[in-house]
Each structure stands twice: as C-alpha cells, then as structure tokens.
C-alpha cells in the first residue's frame, strides 16, 4: 500500500517566514513564525503557540528562502540609494547583484590568503596585546561584503553593501544625493552658512528674507545628520532641516 502525505490545502507554507532564535537549556533553536503573530505573542495578546508557529521545524528550504528574500530586499535598497556617477541614473538590480557577488568572491579569496599567511611561522603573543592589536586592525580595515545574514536587518546590511561598493568600485557607483530645505534665523545665518556651503554639493535656491535664510540644497546623504545637528545646535530650536527628496535624479537638479 502506497503511503500518501496529507497536507492541508488551505495552508501556504514557506511564505512570510520570520525565523526566531531562542536558547533553552544551553541549546539553540530556530522557530519559523508568522511575523505579526510574533509581536502578539510577545505582548501577551496571542496565547495559542500553534497560531504563532508556521512550522514546527526550520529546515534548509526555509532558511534558504529567507536568505533569498533578504538578498532581494538588500539589493533593492542598494539599487534605490546608488547611481552611476557618470550618467546619474540608477543601476538595475541585476548589475548590483553581480557587483556584490564579485565582492564576496574577492573577500573570500583575501580571507583564504590571509589564513595561509598567518599559518606559516606564526608566533604566539600575549593575549592582551593581541586583543588590542585586533581592535586597532578592525578599525583600519576596509569595508567588507560577505553576503546577507539573517541576524541583521535588510537596511543595515544594505548600508554595509553600499560602503563596500563605494570603497572597491567594482562598477562606477556613487550614493544617490538628497535634496534638503534649510531654514536659519538671521541671527545665526551668516555664521552657519559658510560651514553648510562646504558640506553640500549644490545650492539650488536661496532667499534672504526678513525672518532668515531659506535654502534648497543637494547633498550627500552622509552629511544630512551633520547638517541637522549643526542647525539644531546653532539655531537652538529656531532653525529646521526638511528632506524634500531622498533620491535626486540627474534631471531634477536643474
């Protein structure tokens, strides 16, 4: 008699997987849960654990699918935040994915070479001294991209990927610029404006009115926080920085 696997037809498996890691009795477990149900369980709203768990065991397929979804999300974020500096246009997700794969291969080869070199004639050093040197070396090391992991958010991993792409330039790439509107009261405008002018890429429009200095500028996203903190500190709450556009295309600058 042939065996038949019964699977509910109204239950869709391997979709919207959120893997939760827990440690119990010095053992590590991975649970596949519904994302919205995880929050309800933690807040005490949901009491039935079967409503939270999607499947009772996380296997290779579930983990592989989560990594694939995370990879697509990371690539999408990188695509939205980066452009070709020569044309000002965004790259396709396929080109970004190939560039990241190239960085992975490069880092893997570099790690293998470093391990081989360290293994030949290595001498033992004091643990404290080794830790200090290791920390200093980690600070000086260039950014690396080793692929997506499930322990970090897609946004944080996308920022790591962007740093590696900007450093190694496997393809000509630059961060998308953003458009800001800055207001400074007249009392501090003359003092702060020169500093802001050094940070921005382009002054699109400005107006010195009776109340103060209004300006629309285009800058690198990396200096947004610096400009915002500077305005807040010098204007003491009377100035403001508004984000008009997070991704300025080449045609929008004129």
Provide CATH 3.30.1250.10 ranges for the chain. 17-58
pTM score over 0.75: no
- Cα angle 215-218-219, degrees, rounded to a multiple of 5: 120
Comparing 39-43, 130-134, 149-153, 195-199, the range with the smallest average pLDDT is 130-134
Confidence class for position 220, pLDDT limits 50, 70, 90:
confident
Confidence class for position 31, pLDDT limits 50, 70, 90:
confident
Give the separation between CA 88 and CA 247, rounded to whole angstroms: 11
The domain at 17-58 falls in which architecture? 2-Layer Sandwich (3.30)
pLDDT of 199 reads 92
Higher per-residue pLDDT: 6 or 47? 47
Confidence class for position 253, pLDDT limits 50, 70, 90:
low
The 202-208 sheet, strands edge to edge:
202-208, 212-219, 177-185, 240-248
Average pLDDT of 1-30?
A: 63
The answer on pLDDT for 140 being more than 90 is no
The answer on pLDDT for 93 being more than 60 is yes
Provide CATH 3.30.70.240 ranges for the chain. 177-252
- Which contacts qualify for 83-90: CB closer than 8 Å, 24 or more apart? 83/173, 83/174, 83/175, 83/176, 83/250, 84/171, 84/172, 84/173, 84/174, 85/172, 85/173, 85/174, 86/172, 87/250, 88/249, 88/250, 88/251, 89/249, 89/250, 90/176
Average pLDDT of 202-212?
A: 87
> Does the 177-252 domain belong in CATH 3.50.50.60?
no
Q: Measuring CA to CA, how many Å separate 4 from each of 1, 7, 12, 54, 94?
A: 9, 10, 19, 22, 41
Q: Could you tell me which residues come within 8 angstroms of residue 239 by beta carbon, excluding any fewer than 6 positions away?
A: 182, 183, 184, 185, 188, 212, 231, 232
Confidence class for position 151, pLDDT limits 50, 70, 90:
confident
Residue 108 CA, distance from chain mean position: 21
Give the separation between CA 196 and CA 189, rounded to whole angstroms: 10
Q: Measuring CA to CA, how many Å separate 85 from each of 18, 101, 111, 177?
A: 37, 21, 30, 11
- Cα angle 19-29-74, degrees, rounded to a multiple of 5: 30
């Amino acid at each position: 008699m042939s065996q038949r696997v019964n699977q509910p037809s109204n239950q869709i498996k391997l979709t919207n997987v959120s893997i939760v890691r827990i440690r119990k009795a010095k053992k590590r477990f991975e649970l596949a849960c519904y994302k919205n149900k995880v929050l309800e369980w933690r807040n005490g709203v949901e009491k039935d654990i079967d409503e939270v768990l999607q499947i009772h065991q996380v296997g290779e397929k579930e983990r592989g699918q989560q990594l694939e979804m995370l990879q697509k999300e990371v690539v999408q974020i990188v695509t939205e935040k980066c452009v070709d500096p020569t044309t000002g246009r965004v790259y396709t997700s396929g080109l970004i994915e190939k560039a990241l794969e190239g960085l992975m291969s490069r880092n893997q080869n570099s790690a293998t070479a470093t391990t081989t070199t360290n293994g030949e004639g290595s001498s033992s050093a004091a643990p404290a001294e080794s830790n200090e040197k290791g920390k200093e070396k980690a600070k000086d090391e260039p950014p690396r991209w080793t692929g997506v992991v499930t322990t970090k958010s897609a946004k944080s991993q996308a920022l790591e990927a962007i740093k590696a792409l900007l450093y190694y330039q496997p393809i000509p790439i630059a961060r998308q610029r953003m458009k800001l509107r800055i207001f400074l009261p007249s009392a501090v405008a003359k003092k702060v404006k020169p500093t802001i002018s050094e940070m921005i890429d382009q002054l699109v429009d400005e107006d010195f009115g009776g109340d103060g200095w209004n300006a629309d500028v285009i800058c690198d996203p990396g200096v947004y926080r610096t400009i915002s903190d500077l305005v807040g500190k010098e204007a003491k709450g009377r100035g403001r920085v508004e984000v008009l556009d997070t991704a300025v295309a080449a045609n929008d600058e004129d």
